[in-house]
Amino acid sequence: MQATADPFPEWERKHGRVGWGAFSISMRAFCITVAIVHLVLSITFVALRFINTDDSKVPKHLLMPVTKNLGAWMNKTEAVKFPTPIGDKLKSECSIATQQDSRSPDYYIQPISLYITTYDTRCAIILFHFLSFAFQLGNSIWSEGYYSAFKNGETHLSHFLEYSISASVMITTMTIQLGVHDIYTLIGVFCNSWACMIFGFLAQILYHNNTPKINILLINWSPHWIAHIAGWVTLIIAITATLSSLGTFLTCINNHKLPDFVVPLIVMEMLFFSSFGLIQILEFVKKPPAVSDHGHNNKEERVMWAFRTEFWYIVLSLCAKSVLGFVVYFAS
């Protein structure tokens, strides 16, 4: 009996190439190339980091304070009254919390913001580029291992593990640049972003394994959609915390003027972050099952969608990290 030829090499030539005509390269070569670009960018920012080791000469927006907010119990007999330093810039509908009466008549609670440490934005930029380099190179360095997932029409799960760290560092960096310096808020932003990517990771696993639907409140739910929706919830929470300081500033401060780069940066990064979720939605909706209800073999279509998803994840990751890194470092 004659063995059936493996159709995957033909599918790879048809769907797994990046470029045009004779200038196209394989998806694996593309992944390695982008990994090298991330390495070059990481080395570039390392060089910028060590060109000037005197922190006093480093632009202040690259070294941001991390604070801890607390309410200190102060004896009223020892209180020192001080004027509100912000003058007439504060709108009448907003007020600064300067003190709060406590249950004890002899004490009041004074809000205090304590300096904890310094967030070095340069190191954060180096880290998220290096993580992309390490994961993408490790994912694609072995040809057979790299293509094994595509042969089954599946997406590489390692992307979600990398994003769980790198994207969380990115959104934390943007948060502190927008004026949120409280350590617990920053931890919340990081953890919610991490949870978003892990939910995406779980959604992909449940989808790959074709996990049966579960009945909740008389409705049959696909488990991968539950995990996917949970990812959006945690991402929205992280974004809300990221924009909280900016929202308060725009609401309460008279005659405000934002730097020109702020709004475009926010819009672009939010589009990049949400695009990852939209790509997963397209995959879940458009990628057909391996065998249709009518017995049709859909393996080629699944391979095509796996390659498309891989391509857009790599491109979006490079664009999001490059835009954030260069704008935060060089914009003024």
Assess if residue 1 is contained within a domain: no
Q: Which residues contact 10 (CB under 8 A, 6 or more apart)?
A: none
Q: How far apart are CA 315 and CA 146, in angstroms?
A: 17
Same domain, 227 and 277: yes
Same domain, 310 and 244: yes
Same domain, 80 and 147: no
- Written as one string, the DSSP assignment of 270-297 is HHHHHHHHHHHHHHHHHSPPSB-TT--B
Same domain, 112 and 210: no
- Cβ count within 10 A of residue 68: 14
Question: What pLDDT does 15 receive?
Answer: 87
- Domain finish residue from 116, 132, 158: 116
Q: Could you tell me the two tokens for 239?
A: 């974004």
CB 221 within 8 A of CB 213: yes
Same domain, 105 and 247: no
Question: What pLDDT does 1 receive?
Answer: 46
Same domain, 108 and 56: no
- Identify the helix (H) or strand (E) that includes residue 305: helix 299-330
- Domains held by the chain: number: 2
Question: What pLDDT does 227 receive?
Answer: 96
- Domain finish residue from 116, 142, 157: 116
Beta strands in 7-87 (DSSP E): 17-18, 25-26, 63-75
Same domain, 15 and 88: no
Q: What is the CATH number of the domain that holds 137?
A: 1.20.1070.10
Assess if residue 155 is contained within a domain: yes
Q: 79: domain range?
A: 65-116
Same domain, 137 and 202: yes
Please tell me what DSSP assigns to residue 149.
H
Q: How far apart are CA 175 and CA 177, in angstroms?
A: 5
Q: Could you tell me the two tokens for 124?
A: 């954060």
Q: Which residues contact 55 (CB under 8 A, 6 or more apart)?
A: 63
| Sheet-wide strand order for 63-75 | 63-75, 107-120, 100-101
- Tokens 């488990």: give the residue: 223
Question: What pLDDT does 4 receive?
Answer: 65
Same domain, 107 and 248: no
CB 42 within 8 A of CB 133: yes
* Segment-wise mean pLDDT, segments of 10 residues, the chain, 332 residues: 71 86 87 96 92 80 91 75 58 69 76 91 95 95 91 90 96 93 95 97 92 87 94 95 87 79 89 94 88 72 92 95 93 70
Same domain, 141 and 261: yes
Q: How far apart are CA 286 and CA 207, in angstroms?
A: 13
Assess if residue 182 is contained within a domain: yes
Assess if residue 2 is contained within a domain: no
Same domain, 125 and 232: yes
Assess if residue 53 is contained within a domain: yes
Same domain, 133 and 162: yes
240: left (phi over 0), alpha (psi -120 to 50) or beta: alpha
Assess if residue 3 is contained within a domain: no
Q: Could you tell me the two tokens for 211?
A: 């996990």
